[in-house]
Structure 1
Amino acid sequence: MGRPCLVLLLPLVVGLDFGYHHTKEMEAFLKEVHKNYPSTTHLYSIGKSVEGRDLWVLALGRFPTQHKIGIPEFKYVANMHGDESVGRELMLHLIEFLVTNDQHDPVITRLIDNTRIHILPSMNPDGFEATTQFDCFPPYGRYNANMQDLNRNFPDVFDSNNATVQPETQAVMDWIKNEMFVLSANLHGGSLVASYPFDNGNSVTITSDDISRTLDNDIFMHLARTYASNHAIMYEGTPCHNGDDFPEGITNGHAWYRLKGGMQDYNYIWGQCFEITLELSCCQYPPKEELPSFWNDNKIALIEYIKQVHLGVKGRVLDTHGKPIPDVIVEATGRRHVCPYKTHRNGEYYLLLLPGSYTLNATIPGFLSLLHDVYIPNGTANFSALQHDFIFPSKKPARIEPASCPTKPLYSRDYHKSTSATLKPPVNTLIFIYILYEVFR
Structure 2
Amino acid sequence: MHGNEVLGRELILKLADYLCDEYMKSNGNIRELIHQTRIHLMASMNPDGWQLATDTGASDYLTGRTNNNSVDLNRNFPDLDRIMFSHEENHIDHNNHLLQDITSIKEPLQPETRAVIRLIMQIPFVLSANLHGGDLVANYPYDESKSGKLTGEYSSSPDDETFRHLALQYSLYHADMADPKRKNCGDVDSAQFAKQGGITNGAKWYSLQGGMQDFNYLSSNDFEITLELGCDKYPNDDVLENEWKRNKNALINFIWQSHIGVKGIVYDSVTKLGIPNAVIHVKNVTKNIQKDIQHDITSVHDGDYFRLLTPGQYKITAYRDGYLPHTRLVTVINRPFTQAQRVDFALKPISLPPYIRIQPDNFINSKPDELFSTAQKWENWRNGNQEPLALE
Smaller-chain TM-score range?
Answer: 0.7 to 0.9
Match of 2:135 among 191, 198, 201: 191
CA offsets per residue over residues 152-176 of structure 1, 9 Å max, x none?
A: 0111123475111111111111101
Match of 2:73 among 150, 160, 167: 150
Match of 2:38 among 116, 140, 154: 116
Contact 2:324 2:349 in 1 (8 A): no
CA offsets per residue over residues 21-75 of structure 1, 9 Å max, x none?
A: xxxxxxxxxxxxxxxxxxxxxxxxxxxxxxxxxxxxxxxxxxxxxxxxxxxxxxx
Query: What letter is aligned with 2:239?
Result: E
Q: Which residue of 2 aligns with 1:336?
A: 294
Aligned CA distance change for structure 1 residues 348 and 150 (closer, same or farther; 3 Å):
same
Contact 1:136 1:286 in 2 (8 A): no
Q: Which residue of 2 aligns with 1:182?
A: 126
Alignment partner of 1:228 is 2:171 = yes
Counting only pairs closer than 5 Å after superposition, residues 82-97 of structure 1 correspond to structure 2 as 82-97=3-18
Contact 2:266 2:278 in 1 (8 A): yes
TM-score normalised to structure 2 length = 0.77
Counting only pairs closer than 5 Å after superposition, residues 160-309 of structure 1 correspond to structure 2 as 161-203=105-147, 210-237=153-180, 239-243=183-187, 244=190, 245-246=192-193, 247-309=196-258
Deviation at 1:288, TM superposition (A): 1.2
Query: What letter is aligned with 1:390?
Result: F
Deviation at 1:202, TM superposition (A): 1.5
Deviation at 1:138, TM superposition (A): 4.0
Q: Which residue of 1 aligns with 2:22?
A: 101
* CA distance, structure 1, for counterparts of residue 112 and residue 145 of structure 2: 25
SS in structure 1 at match of 2:35: helix
* CA distance, structure 2, for counterparts of residue 290 and residue 434 of structure 1: 66
Match of 1:125 among 34, 47, 50: 47
Contact 1:134 1:287 in 2 (8 A): no
Aligned CA distance change for structure 1 residues 138 and 201 (closer, same or farther; 3 Å):
closer
Contact 1:82 1:126 in 2 (8 A): yes
Cα RMSD for the two superposed structures: 2.2
SS in structure 1 at match of 2:129: strand
Deviation at 1:135, TM superposition (A): 3.7
* CA distance, structure 1, for counterparts of residue 306 and residue 320 of structure 2: 17
Contact 1:153 1:163 in 2 (8 A): yes
SS in structure 2 at match of 1:254: helix
* CA distance, structure 2, for counterparts of residue 434 and residue 378 of structure 1: 37
SS in structure 2 at match of 1:173: helix
Counting only pairs closer than 5 Å after superposition, residues 261-410 of structure 1 correspond to structure 2 as 261-320=210-269, 321-333=271-283, 334-337=292-295, 340-365=296-321, 367-382=323-338, 384-395=339-350
Q: Which residue of 1 aligns with 2:377?
A: none
SS in structure 2 at match of 1:331: strand
* CA distance, structure 2, for counterparts of residue 368 and residue 214 of structure 1: 29
SS in structure 2 at match of 1:317: strand
Contact 1:267 1:275 in 2 (8 A): yes
Q: Name stretches of at least 5 consecutive residues in structure 2 with no aligned partner.
A: 83-103, 284-291, 353-370, 375-392
Aligned CA distance change for structure 1 residues 139 and 222 (closer, same or farther; 3 Å):
closer
Deviation at 1:287, TM superposition (A): 1.2
CA offsets per residue over residues 265-313 of structure 1, 9 Å max, x none?
A: 0111102100000000201101111111111110110001000000000
Deviation at 1:239, TM superposition (A): 2.7
Contact 1:153 1:161 in 2 (8 A): no
SS in structure 2 at match of 1:278: strand
Q: Name stretches of at least 5 consecutive residues in structure 1 with no aligned partner.
A: 1-79, 398-431, 436-441
Runs of 4+ in 1 over 6 A off after TM superposition: none
Aligned CA distance change for structure 1 residues 346 and 379 (closer, same or farther; 3 Å):
farther
Deviation at 1:139, TM superposition (A): 4.1
Query: What letter is aligned with 1:228?
Result: S
Deviation at 1:363, TM superposition (A): 1.6
* CA distance, structure 2, for counterparts of residue 434 and residue 358 of structure 1: 25
More helix by share: 2
Deviation at 1:108, TM superposition (A): 0.5
Q: Which residue of 2 aligns with 1:81?
A: 2
* CA distance, structure 1, for counterparts of residue 60 and residue 231 of structure 2: 9
* CA distance, structure 2, for counterparts of residue 198 and residue 361 of structure 1: 25
SS in structure 1 at match of 2:294: coil
Q: Which residue of 2 aligns with 1:418?
A: none
Contact 1:136 1:283 in 2 (8 A): no
Q: Which residue of 2 aligns with 1:433?
A: 372
